[in-house]
Structure formats: C-alpha cells, structure tokens
A and B are shown apart, each in its own frame.
Chain A
Amino acid sequence: MTDTAVGPVRAHAQQPAPRRQEMVQLLDEHGVRHHDPEHDVDLSPAELRGLYREMVLMRRLDSEAEALQRKGQLGLWAGSRGQEASQVGAGRAVRRQDQLFPSYRDHGALLARGVDPLHVLSLFRGVDHGGWDPVEVGVHPYTLVIAAQMLPAVGYAMGVQRDGAVGTGDPDRDTAAIAFFGDGATSQGEAAEALNWASVFNAPVVFFCQNNQWAISEPVSRQSPVPLHRRAEGAGMPGVLVDGNDVLAVLSVVRSALDRARGGGGPTFVESFTFRMGAHTTSDDPTRYRLAAEVDAWREKDPIDRLRTYLTAEGELDEEFETALAAESEAFAVRLREGVPALQDPAPASMFDHAYAEPHPQVLAERDEFLAAWEQQDADAHAAAHGGTR
C-alpha cells in the first residue's frame, strides 16, 4: 500500500468510539448486571429466559439460512449474527398495536413479532417478497432500498396522530411506529428528511438504528464524522446510545422511547451499538475489508453468551432448560431445512395479480398474452414428449 492509499483499515481507525459513560448498558460483556436509574428494567427470570431463548433461535435461523443458501436452496441471505440483542430487545419492546418498518436484516425483530421464519426465508428463496401479512402482524414488508422505509414510518405515525391514538393514556390504544435501519442508511437524504419531518410534526415514531459498524465494506466512519445518535440533536429529538449487544438495555431504551412516542412526547433516535459478525450477505467476503482482530474483539461481547453467563450466575438457567432449548432449536432447524425446499413456487401468471388494485387494460392484455404463449409451450412440450410434430 502506498502512502496516499486510503485502505479500509485506515478509514476504520478514524471511527469515533463511543464514550463508555454515555452508552446505556445494563449487562456488560462479562455478564455482570449494572443498574441505571434512568433506563433500568425489571424482568422476571421467566422473561429473561424468554429473551435468551429468542436470541438462541434467531442465531439458529441465521446459521440454518446460511447453510441453505450454500446448498442452493436460497438465492441470498442477509445474516444477522451478532445483532440478536438489538433485534430481540427492540422487537420485544413493540406492542401489538405498534407498526414496525424493518430494513432487510431484522429477522430477530420479526421472530419477536411472531412472524413465521419460513415467511422470511421465502423472500430470500424468491418465492415472494416476504410472506407475512403486514397488517395482521404489524410488520411492513422488508425494504431493500436503504432508508426508504423511514418516511412511510413517519407518515404512519402521523396517521396515528390523526386517529387520536396518541397520549390517551390507554395502553391498548396509544400507538407508535418504529423504523429499523442501519448505519449506512443514515447517509441517505431520505433519512435526514424523516428525522426532521418527525420532529416538526412531533410524530409518534422511534428511529432504531443498528450501527453494526459496516455498510457492506464501508466502515461507519465513511458514513458519519460524528456518532450517529448525535444526528438527533440537529433534528431536535433525543438521541440515545445503547449497547446493542445488551438485550436488557436495548429493551429498556426502546421501550421507554416507544412509551414516550405513544404518550405524545414525540420521536426518539436510538443508536444500538453492535456488530455484524458475518458477511453483509452471502454474496460478499468480509475478510477483504475488515481485520480478524476486530471480529475477535466483538466475539468477546457476544450478546447470547453474556446473558447465559448472567442467568447461570443467578441460578436461573439450569441444565433442564438448556437441554429443552437445544431440542427446540434442533426441531426449529429441522422445520426450516424441510420447510424451505417445500416452499411452493408461485404460479407464473400470479405475477400479474397485484400490480394494480383495479383492473388495468394493459396488465390484463399482457396476462392474456403470457397465458396464451405458456399454453402453447405446454402443448409443444406435450407433443414433443409423445413423438408428435408441429
């Protein structure tokens, strides 16, 4: 490398490290529980085990999906290993009536919402654009265009305001929207518009940024010269930095941000400081752009390990639970391994079905044209198979 080259290592060295004291953390990397008067959370042992279980299953989804992609069963997979605490914590903070606007790597949040993982995998198999019902489960379709879901989330929140479903004090009525996005998304112009807009209208929306340090091969220092949560200052809303590998802290911070939004207090920006342990997707090779030492350092901060350490020390995680969870995880994996190849391809003509809500002459004509050609191909194939000639 010459003196003038700006390599990834050098660029990454400029990345601003968050000051420890400003990052909300309730469970440190050694599994030691800390208390924070502003952001504490009080969970029962059963609830803690529930979070642990969801993170374990989410990681299993990731490893199975990666294997399925390698076997050619999925066209692509956007992995989320390392981000379990961020996604499960935030996903668990969302109430039934809230609407979640995800990006395309938020599998853990979807699991927490009750979305069938096969519906997530069907997207990456190319069977559909995500098989879940966005109205029923309260999860918007995955958005592949970076930051594009943030403005609809704000608009949805403005609709909530107009419905009078903010600040009524009724926990079943008050509603918020939450937009999930990554560090790369904060560079998009639409992200800036969304933050500003939400603040101007005091919309009940939470911006949940998972800073996983890398936007494909570009480090966060190439996205922003200031820590991401400080973007909130310019937009006139609170910006909170939370340890994204600490499921308790994420749950607590996002829960209070959502409470604030539902109560009429307006938007909050949450930066969840975490790390993507794997590749951006199965198409890239992270060893080309980041150092093994960085990955190793983050492995020490593993979100699942630290909760296991804590629960074990507290005597809340016995062998019986671990054995049952291992069996559940195995059964879950079998369901994915068997379920993915069994996913049915849609009928080809169904691609014409939902372009428009109302009949559209050009689409109907092209559908007829397609069906006629398809039937002819079928007839030709049949004739060929039976030795006929055209």
Chain B
Amino acid sequence: METMAIGRAINAGLRAAMDRDPRVLLMGEDIGALGGVFRVTDGLQKDFGEDRVIDTPLAEAGIVGTAIGMALRGYRPVCEMQFNGFVFPAFNQITTQLAKLRARSRGRLSVPVVLRIPSGGGIGSVEHHSESPEVLFAHTAGLRVVAPSTPHDAYWMVQQSIASADPVLFLEPERRYWQKGEVDTDLGPGQVTPLHRARVLRPGTDATLVAYGPTTQLALDAAAAAAQDGTELEVVDLRSISPLDVDTVAESVRRTGRLVTVSEAPTFHGPMAELAARIQESCFYSLEAPVKRVGGWHLPYPVARVEEHYLPSVDRVLDAVEQSLAA
C-alpha cells in the first residue's frame, strides 16, 4: 500500500502499462520534457524515449486522428488533451472515426485508444479550462467514458482503460490531481473492480448520493456533514459514465428510497438525467421522493471569480437532500 496523489497515481499507472506492453505509447502537447501542464507524464519521456512519449504538434484532431492510425497498426496510444475545452477540435475524429471504426468494419478493426482529459473546473483558470464534456461522448455509441475519483482507482482504471479493446475517454478530476490517498499496487487479476462498475464508498440508510470524478469527494464531504445531524447518506461513486452501472445504484436506492445526484456537468440533458430516468424506471415503487439533481448550470462555464457559485457545493447537496427527505 502506497500513499500518492491522483496525478501521481495516473503517472504510476501509465508507467506500469508501458513497462508491461511495448505497444503502449503516449501522445500529446508538452507531455515530454515538461511532463504535461499538470505534470501527469513527468519523467516518462526520460525513461521510455521520444518514440514512446511523443511531444506532438499543437493540433488535437491530429493527436486523436494519428492515434487511430497507430492503433490500426497495433499500437495502444494514450493521448493527453491538455485541457477539457481543447477536446473540441478533435470532436470529429472522436465521434466519426474513433467511435465508429469498429462498427464500420464489422468488428474487423479495433481502435484501443485512450484519451486522457482533465475534466471539470475549480482551479480558478480561464475559459475552456474547466468544462465537463462527458455527456457529449457518453451519448456517442462506440466510446467508453470513465472517471476515477481516488488515487487507487486512478492507478488501476488507467491501466484497465489501456487494456480495453474499445476506445476509452478517461476523465481526470482536474481539481483533485493533488488529492492524496492509498493505492494498493499489488492486486492480482480479479481483485481490481471492473472498469464499468460503480462502487458504494460509504454505506447509509436515509438517502443515496451518486457522484463521479471531481464531485465524489464532495458527496463524501456532504455525507460526513449530514452524519453530524444524524442523517446517514449512502455514497455511490459511478466510476463509469458509459456504460452506466444502473444496477448498483438501483440496489442502493431500493435500500434508501431516495436519490440525489451530484455532478459538475450541467444538469440539463446531463449524464445524471439518464441515471434519474433509469432509476425511476427500475425503482419507481421504492422511491419515496423524486430524484434530485445537483450540478452545473446550463451556462458557458463562468469566470473564475464566480465559479464557486456554478459548481455544486456541500450546501447545495445538503439542500437537495433536505428537499428529498421532506418530500
């Protein structure tokens, strides 16, 4: 068991994958000597060389498009999008090529590409550095979209994503890169939670909180605060946005009767709208209250000085819990 921050855990996961398989290579802007703007790839070019840790031209469609070609040649490229808002120039390659090549070739072509995308806000930065684009890609069939929230998951999920035969968008919780936690690096096959599985992080009886990525810690903080007032909240970390592990959430909701979702992505047409719809379908008679969603507003991500009013807070989560309990 080692203690490390999320950013460091991803670095260690990448290193383990590269050690294990010479076909794994990294591509992105500034990922070599600099180690990436968040230093996630720190030291990897030094150890694996410029042919496996490729500093690319400043062109996101180019990064994804050429990664597709490398995957077709048998490599397993892991691409870094420098910031979430910079994924949009690559949107065409991701949605029309990366997601579709397998279906278009009736399974003959595989494109095991991983796109690492710093996701969400809360770092006080300028525009297009703080967005939550996950639902755009979750809505695109052919892609998997996952989001670790702990160093342990970051370490293992990045390796599972690389091992996956499907293209995976790996959303890194930008404002949690420095959050430390324990990582068990010695697990064997079967001991690691499958990539698409949700996980109950804290058991509770009064309501279920569901979150992923950067808001998972927020949900845990809210649950800790609620416990001081005698309310026991169960916290489920989705971990995967596509596919969605509805069963694990439904099981929890059947126990608690109430569901509050927490995401940074805007609630309008957001990923939690899908979850809420599926939960009302499968748990209608167990629900004691309507599903409540806490998330970003339906706005361009606001300027840094007001982003705390855009992002879900412990207070907003507890307000939603209160409304659910009062219903």
**A residues apposed to B, CB below 8 Å:** 99, 128-130, 133-135, 140-141, 143, 145, 148, 150-160, 162-163, 177, 189-190, 193-194, 196-197, 200, 353-358, 360-363
| Distance in angstroms between the alpha carbons of A143 and B93 in the assembled complex | 12
Q: Chain B residues with Cβ under 8 A from A156's Cβ?
A: 69-70, 72-73
> Distance in Å from the Cβ of B96 to the closest Cβ of chain A?
5
- Contact present for A155 and B65 (CB under 8 Å): yes
* Given A148-B65, A200-B57, also A362-B110 (CB < 8 A): no
Chain B contact residues (Cβ within 8 angstroms of A): what range? 35 or more
Q: Which residues from chain B contact A153 at a C-beta distance below 8 Å?
A: 69
Given the interface contacts A159-B69, A362-B243, does A129 sit within 8 Å of B105 by beta carbon? Answer: yes
Are the CB atoms of B92 and A145 closer together than 8 Å?
A: yes
Please give me the residue from chain B that is nearest to A357 by CB atom. B165
A315 to chain B, nearest CB (A): 46
Name the residue on A nearest B61 (C-beta): A190
Chain B residues near A145: list those with CB within 8 A.
92, 96-97
Asked if B62 contacts A159 (CB within 8 A), the reply is: no
Separation of A156 and B72 alpha carbons in the complex (Å): 7
Is the pair B142, A152 in contact by a Cβ cutoff of 8 Å?
no
Inter-subunit contact B65/A194 (CB<8 Å) = yes
Q: Which B positions have Cβ atoms within 8 angstroms of A?
A: 25, 51, 56-57, 59, 61-62, 64-75, 77, 89, 92-93, 96-97, 101-110, 112, 141-142, 144, 164-166, 196, 242-246
Q: In the complex where A134-B109, A151-B93 touch, is A193 in contact with B57 (Cβ < 8 A)?
A: yes
Given contacts A151-B65, A177-B69, A193-B59, 6 further A-B contacts (CB under 8 A): A130-B105, A151-B61, A155-B71, A193-B61, A356-B144, A361-B244
Q: Using Cβ atoms and an 8 Å threshold, which residues of chain A touch B107? A: 353-354, 357
Q: Judging by beta carbons under 8 Å apart, are A194 and B106 in contact? A: no
Task: Chain A residues near B106: list those with CB within 8 A.
Answer: 128-129, 353-354
Minimum CB–CB distance for B318 against chain A, Å: 32
User: A140 CA to B68 CA in the complex, in Å?
Assistant: 12
Q: Are B65 and A159 in contact (CB under 8 A)?
A: no
**A200 / chain B contacts, CB cutoff of 8 Å:** 57
> How many Å from the CB of A36 to the closest CB on chain B?
33
Residue pair A358, B164 in contact (C-beta under 8 Å): yes
A357 to B242, CA, bound (A): 14
**In the complex, A193 Cα to B29 Cα: how many Å?**
14
User: Is there an interface contact between B102 and A155, defined as CB atoms closer than 8 Å?
Assistant: no
Chain A neighbourhood of B246, CB < 8 A: 361
Return the chain A residue nearest B52 by Cβ. A162
* A64 to B70 Cα, complex, angstroms: 37
Top 7 A-B pairs, shortest CB-CB distance: A155-B69, A151-B65, A159-B73, A155-B66, A357-B165, A156-B69, A152-B69
Question: Contact at B165–A134, with CB atoms within 8 Å?
Answer: no
A365 smallest CB distance to B (angstroms): 9
Can you give 10 contacting A-B residue pairs, CB < 8 Å? A99-B72, A129-B103, A129-B106, A135-B108, A143-B97, A152-B66, A155-B65, A197-B56, A356-B102, A357-B164
Interface centre among A133, A354, A361 (most CB of B within 10 A): A354
For B68, what are the chain A residues with a Cβ–Cβ distance below 8 Å? 151-152, 155
Q: Once the chains bind, are A158 and B70 in contact (CB under 8 Å)?
A: yes
Partner of B92, one of A155, A190, A358, A361: A190
By the criterion CB–CB under 8 Å, are A197 and B105 in contact?
no
List, in ascending order, chain A residues with CB within 8 A of B102's CB. Answer: 354-357
Contacts of A193 in B (CB 8 A): 57, 59, 61-62, 65
Tell me, rounded to whole Å, the shortest Cβ–Cβ distance linking A6 to chain B: 29
| Contacting pair A361 B65 (CB below 8 A) | no
CB <8 Å contact, A148 and B97: yes
B108 and A134 contacting across the interface, CB-CB below 8 Å? yes
Q: Are A356 and B166 in contact (CB under 8 A)?
A: yes
Q: Which chain A residues border B25 with CB–CB below 8 Å?
A: 162
B92 CB contacts on chain A under 8 angstroms: 145, 148, 190
How many Å lie between the Cα of A189 and that of B58 in the bound state?
13
The answer on a CB contact under 8 Å between A194 and B62 is yes
Q: CB-CB < 8 A to A130: which residues of B?
A: 104-105
Q: Residue of A at shortest CB range from B110?
A: A357
Q: How far is the CB of B51 from chain A (nearest CB, A)?
A: 6
**B66 and A362: CB pair below 8 A?**
no
Contacting residues, chain A, for B62 (C-beta < 8 A): 151, 154, 190, 193-194, 196-197
A355 and B142 contact, CB distance less than 8 A: yes
Contact A189 B61 (CB under 8 A): yes
Residues of B within 8 A of A163 (CB): 73-74
Is the beta-carbon distance between B244 and A151 smaller than 8 angstroms? no
Contact residue among B89, B96, B245 (Cβ-Cβ distance under 8 Å from A148): B96
Please state if B66 and A158 are interface contacts (CB–CB under 8 Å).
yes
How many angstroms between the C-alpha atoms of A24 and B173 in the bound complex?
55
The complex places the Cα of A240 from the Cα of B56 at a distance, in Å, of 27
List of A residues within 8 angstroms of B93 by Cβ: 148, 151, 190
Chain A neighbourhood of B196, CB < 8 A: 360-361
Residues of chain B within 8 A (CB-CB) of A151 are: 61-62, 64-66, 68-69, 93
Residues in B whose Cβ lies below 8 Å from that of A160: 73
Contacts of B74 in A (CB 8 A): 159, 163
B257 to chain A, nearest CB (A): 24
Between A128, A133, A197, A357, the greatest number of chain B beta carbons within 10 A of the residue's beta carbon is seen for: A357
Chain A residues lying within 8 Å of B77, measured Cβ to Cβ, are: 155
Instruction: Tell me, in angstroms, the Cα distance from A190 to B71 when the chains sit together.
Output: 18
Question: Which of chain B's residues has its CB closest to A354's CB?
Answer: B107
Residue of A nearest to B107 (CB): A354
A385 CB, min distance to chain B CBs, angstroms: 33
Complex contacts, A158 vs chain B, CB 8 Å: 66, 69-70, 73
| Contact status A154-B104, CB under 8 Å | no
| Least distance between A328 CB and chain B CB atoms (Å) | 30
Closest Cβ neighbor of B102 among chain A residues: A354
Pick the contact of B105: A141, A177, A194, A361 (CB < 8 A). Answer: A141
In the complex, are the beta carbons of A155 and B70 less than 8 A apart?
Answer: yes
Q: How close is A75's CB to chain B, nearest CB, in angstroms?
A: 16
Looking at the assembled complex, report how far the CB atom of A106 sits from the nearest CB atom of chain B, in whole angstroms: 16
Task: Knowing A194-B62, A197-B57, A197-B62, say if A135 contacts B67 (CB, 8 Å).
Answer: no
Q: Given A155-B65, A353-B107, A355-B141, does the pair A362, B244 have CB atoms closer than 8 Å?
A: yes
